[in-house]
């Protein structure tokens, strides 16, 4: 499982053949940043392939066509997609049931390409054209109000332009997060007064209260389910619960 580091392709800005190969692999990967390959984003997977540390069949969003393109690029044999990473499927986009959204902002923090807009305590909306279908916002939603649906334009594919835009948005988001982290560190170093309680405690309390109100509201609409203890129960664990 060794990548061909001398593969004949253009690579921007590096004298290191391995970086150049990683650039070319990254250019093929679909940039959904879904982590299904087992890496935290597309680029780390590209780096692992270029180093010879990963097989080329671990990207379900890229599917068989993507894997074949990687095989051509690297000179490696064609393989079936690794079922451990999930199956190839039609493109889906996230949709928020806005009537149930409590405005906790957790989904915004999880979205790798900033495809969700909203504000604290306000309903949130997915910009479908920007959504990569990565699915990363679904499980953390404390009231289970995000689902993955077919795109309205019935487009099941993911074009090269969408891929490149997703890569750029992911990079911009990471730069912004790094700037914010640096700013927090600098403020701390300047001796600015720090939080008197656990960081984020206020916000967690707000979220927990909103979840409880949402559950109570749903239970009042469906008393039978409430009596059985299932009304409003989220599918996923309460992210504010740190008792586990
Ligand atoms: S699209 Fe998902 S599975 Fe494919 S390389 Fe990117 S993060 Fe990994
Ligand atoms: S909205 Fe959800 S599914 Fe779409 S890109 Fe953001 S985190 Fe992924
Ligand atoms: S995680 Fe769910 S409840 Fe929270 S803002 Fe997003 S959609 Fe709304």
For residue 80, give the CATH number of its domain. 1.10.15.40
- Does ligand 3 have an atom closer than 6 angstroms to the CB of 32? no
Looking at residue 223, its pLDDT comes to 55
66 lines ligand 3 (CB under 6 A): no
Is 81 inside a domain boundary? Answer: yes
Which pLDDT value is given to residue 31? 98
What is the residue with the minimal CA distance to atom 2 of ligand 2? Answer: 137
143 lines ligand 3 (CB under 6 A): yes
CA of 4 to the centre of ligand 1 (A): 21
Residue 133 has a pLDDT of 96
Establish if 162 belongs to a structural domain.
Answer: no
Residues in contact with 94: Cβ distance below 8 Å, sequence separation at least 6, in sequence order: 107, 115, 116, 126, 131, 133, 135, 137, 138, 146, 147, 148, 149
**26-80 per-position pLDDT tens digit:** 999 999 999 999 999 999 999 999 999 999 999 999 999 999 999 999 999 999 9
Residue having the nearest C-alpha atom to atom 3 of ligand 3: 101
Nearest-ligand number for the alpha carbon of 173: 2
- Name the domain count of the chain: 1
Average pLDDT across each block of 10 residues of the chain; the chain has 244 residues. List them in order. 33 55 97 98 98 98 96 98 96 94 95 94 90 97 96 78 96 96 88 54 66 69 47 31 34
pLDDT of residue 206: 62
Query: Is residue 239 domain-resident?
Result: no
Residue 152 lies in a domain: no
Torsion sign (Cα): 218, 220, 225, 229: positive
92 half-sphere exposure, CB direction, 13 A CA radius:
15
**Apex CA 75: angle with CA 72 and CA 77, to 5°?**
90
Whether 106 lines ligand 3, by a CB cut-off of 6 Å, is yes
Q: Whose CA is nearest to atom 4 of ligand 3?
A: 104
Chain Cα centroid distance, residue 52: 25
Whose alpha carbon is nearest atom 2 of ligand 3? 141
Does residue 135 line the site of ligand 2, with CB under 6 A? yes
Domain that holds residue 35: 17-85
Exposure letters 207-224 (e unless 16+ CB within 10 A, then b) = bbebbeebbeebbeeeee
Evaluate whether residue 33 is within a structural domain.
yes
Note the pLDDT of residue 3: 35
**What pLDDT was estimated at residue 120?**
84
Establish if 188 belongs to a structural domain.
no
- pTM (two decimals): 0.77
- The closest residue, in CA terms, to atom 6 on ligand 1 is 42
Q: Which ligand is nearest to the CA of 86?
A: 1
In a domain, 205, yes or no: no
10 Å CB burial of residue 230 (0-12, 13-18, 19+) is: exposed
Residue 119: the pLDDT is 86
* Domain presence at residue 60: yes
φ/ψ (deg, to 5) at 146: -115, 130
Take atom 1 of ligand 1 and give the residue whose Cα is closest.
Answer: 32
Ligand 1 atom nearest to 85, measured from its CA: 3
Distance 152 CA to ligand 3 centre (A): 21
């Amino acid at each position: 499982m060794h990548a061909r580091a001398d593969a004949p392709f253009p690579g921007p800005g590096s004298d290191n053949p391995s970086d150049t190969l990683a650039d070319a692999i990254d250019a093929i990967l679909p940039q959904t940043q879904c982590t299904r390959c087992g890496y935290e984003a597309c680029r780390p997977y590209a780096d692992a392939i270029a180093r010879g540390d990963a097989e080329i069949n671990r990207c379900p969003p890229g599917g068989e066509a993507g894997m074949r393109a990687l095989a051509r690029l690297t000179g490696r044999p064609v393989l079936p997609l690794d079922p451990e990473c999930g199956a190839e499927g039609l493109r889906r986009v996230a949709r928020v049931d806005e009537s149930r959204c409590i405005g906790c902002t957790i989904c915004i923090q999880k979205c790798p390409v900033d495809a969700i807009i909203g504000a604290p305590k306000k309903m949130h909306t997915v910009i479908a054209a920007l959504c990569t279908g990565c699915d990363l916002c679904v499980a953390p939603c404390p009231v289970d109000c995000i689902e993955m649906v077919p795109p309205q334009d019935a487009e099941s594919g993911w074009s090269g332009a969408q891929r490149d835009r997703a890569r750029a948005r992911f990079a911009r988001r990471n730069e912004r997060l790094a700037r914010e982290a640096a700013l927090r560190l600098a403020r701390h170093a300047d001796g600015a007064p720090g939080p008197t309680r656990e960081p984020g405690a206020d916000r967690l309390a707000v979220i927990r209260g909103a979840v409880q109100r949402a559950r109570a509201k749903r239970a009042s609409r469906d008393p039978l389910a409430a009596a059985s203890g299932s009304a409003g129960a989220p599918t996923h664990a309460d992210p504010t619960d740190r008792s586990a």
